[in-house]
Amino acid sequence: MSTLKDPRTLFEAIEPPAQIQEEPGLETEATPVPDIGLDSYVGHGRLKGRKALITGGDSGIGAAVAIAYAREGADVAISYLPSEQKDADRVIKAIEDAGQKALALPGDLIELEQCEKIVAETVKAFGGLDILVNNASRQRWQEKLTDITDEEFDKTMKANVYSSFRVTKAALPHLEPGSAILFTSSVNAYSPSPTLIDYGVTKAAMNNLAKGLSEQLVGDGIRVNCVAPGPVWTVLQPSHGQPQEKVQEFGRDTGLGRAGQPVEMAGAYVYLASDEASFVTGETIVAAGGGRMPF
């Protein structure tokens, strides 16, 4: 009997109802609730003994990666905003249920002190750090460039770019040969949405930072890579991340005809963090459900 699974129907083509949450939103209150792998991800020991820190690990792709890493044998620390505690609690439980150490790190990465603190606390709790996933991001749509205030632009830059730079800088002294740094970029880094101008700029910056840093660190035996997701159903979308009409049609224009689920991204992050990707650095894996990208 064939074990093939059609990617068009492997996950449901969602039809989200109209819904709005205040930023940053709670994924457990989204309709439908995104699949972060609680019942669907199966580990194979690829990251046994590793120590990982994931920013934005309470929901969406970050949560899926945290669960996958734990089920692959890694201890996992997740950072998140205090208002996201409800989402974070289920991820912490999933990590511990996998038999791994979990560390909850609430706080706002817009602040330099918090960026440094989460690294220090992870190293203290786990006795080291060898996988860093810069995933935390802010996304808020605006119709026109003139609608983006300086304050909003600054906040998005600090949440996405500054935090990635600062957390990575704090982590570097603790990383040994064989360690891996990953960034969550986006297809918006290559083909920016006209309503996500500032977000697209930050994702291009993160992609560029990863590629430049990979050249800087390759001689130290530290690999740096990116994942660039396409439309993935997370709480970012209904918490002012997309206009309502786009929320209700989210992902239908992909080649597969549906939005992705966070758990579908996890495998790329596992691969890039594992020894199976030992000859891969400075690369970006695009996971967008089909469609040509302007590389």
Query: Given a cut of 60, is residue 294 above it in pLDDT?
Result: no
Active-site residues, by number, are 199
Contacts of 45 (CB under 8 A, 6+ apart): 72, 73
Q: List pLDDT tens digits, range 28-43.
A: 989 999 999 999 999 9
Which pLDDT score, from 0 to 100, does residue 1 have? 84
Q: Is 106 exposed, middle or buried (0-12, 13-18, 19+ CB in 10 A)?
A: middle
Say what the pLDDT of residue 242 is: 83
Position 291 pLDDT exceeds 80: no
User: Does domain 44-287 correspond to CATH entry 3.40.50.720?
Assistant: yes
Per-residue confidence (pLDDT) for residue 239, from 0 to 100: 84
pLDDT attached to residue 237: 87
- Bridging pattern class, strands 223-229 and 284-287: parallel
pLDDT of 124 above 60: yes
Range 13-33 average pLDDT: 89
Residues 246-258 pLDDT 10s: 888 888 889 999 9
pLDDT tens per residue across span 55-64: 999 999 999 9
Q: What is the pLDDT of residue 268?
A: 98
CB atoms within 10 A of CB 172: 18
Confidence bin at 95 (pLDDT 50/70/90)? very high
Please determine, for residue 293, whether its predicted confidence score (pLDDT) is greater than 70.
no
> In the chain, what are the domain boundaries?
44-287
Q: How far is 165 from 181, CA to CA, in rounded Å?
A: 12
pTM of the model: 0.95
Give the mean pLDDT of 160-173.
98
**Does position 295 have pLDDT exceeding 70, yes or no?**
no
Other beta carbons within 10 Å of 9: 11
